[in-house]
Amino acid sequence: MKLSGKVAFVTGGSRGIGAGIVERFIADGAKVAFTYAGSREKAEALAAKFPGQALAVHGDVTDEKSVAKAVAQTLASFGKLDIVVNNAGFGEFKPVWELTLADFDRIMNINVRGVFTTIMHTLPHLKSGGRIINISSCNADRIPFANGGIYAASKSALQGMVQGFARDLGPKGITINNLQPGPVDTDLNPKEGAFAEQLHSLMAIPRHASAAEVAGFASYLASEESAFVTGANLMIDGGFSA
């Protein structure tokens, strides 16, 4: 129960990696508020599994007022905030000649601006020992296939953000890190999907990760065990970047 007594706020927690993190944090003793944008039924079903420990709140990371409201609901229900997980994200995969400014703006608004917006509204409530974890991607470091340019750019942007913010937050006793998964078995990227074989051919461990494996790493970063880890871009990618 290494997260006993902690309160976490997870964006995009209704499914996939986010849902895995919600379940792992609760198993490790935390109370967790998590946001959903469009998956209300899945979010409410997940929260119902953990009465008194999980709270599903509507939150769109591209809408500052929505984020502020979700944070306020978390504080009203659980009274404090110790851990922030920026999990909400979006992928756009097209060749550069098909991309539009609308495509660029959408992915940057969710994957970069949304992270900053969430940090901006949660940081005032974090005390020494606080943790900020961004669920990024191994594509921040390596993009060995076509059509992923702006997705990779959005995840690379988080590297500079985290390294810079770590300098600001370290003296306050707050850590901030990027967790960079490779392929993870989710609805959006299933282990038997059309691109699975191509992805596995690039990896030292030729398979998708489970959401639970990523969640285990996130739990470590949320715990006291990781107090000396900050400003890091940490791979959990089966050797995709090796």
Residue 75 is predicted with a pLDDT of 98
Q: Is residue 41 part of a domain?
A: yes
Q: Is residue 1 part of a domain?
A: no
Q: Could you report the per-residue pLDDT of 210-239, keeping only the tens digit for each? A: 999 999 999 999 999 999 999 999 999 999
Q: Is residue 2 part of a domain?
A: no
Q: Is residue 242 part of a domain?
A: no
Tell me: pLDDT of 192 over 90: no
Please give the positions annotated as active site: 151
Q: Is residue 108 part of a domain?
A: yes
CB neighbours of 236 closer than 8 A, spacing ≥ 6? 179, 180, 181, 182, 209, 213, 214, 217
Q: Could you report the per-residue pLDDT of 117-150, keeping only the tens digit for each? A: 999 999 999 999 999 999 999 999 999 889 999 9
Here the CATH number for the domain that contains residue 81 is 3.40.50.720
- DSSP per residue over 100-162, as a string? -HHHHHHHHIIIIIHHHHHHHHHGGG--TT-EEEEE--GGGT---STT-HHHHHHHHHHHHHH
Q: Is residue 174 part of a domain?
A: yes
Give the number of domains in the chain: 1
Which domain, by its residues, includes 187? Answer: 7-236
Q: Is residue 76 part of a domain?
A: yes
Q: Is residue 241 part of a domain?
A: no
Q: Could you report the per-residue pLDDT of 16-74, keeping only the tens digit for each? A: 999 999 999 999 999 999 999 988 899 999 999 999 999 999 999 999 999 999 999 99
pTM attached to this predicted model: 0.95
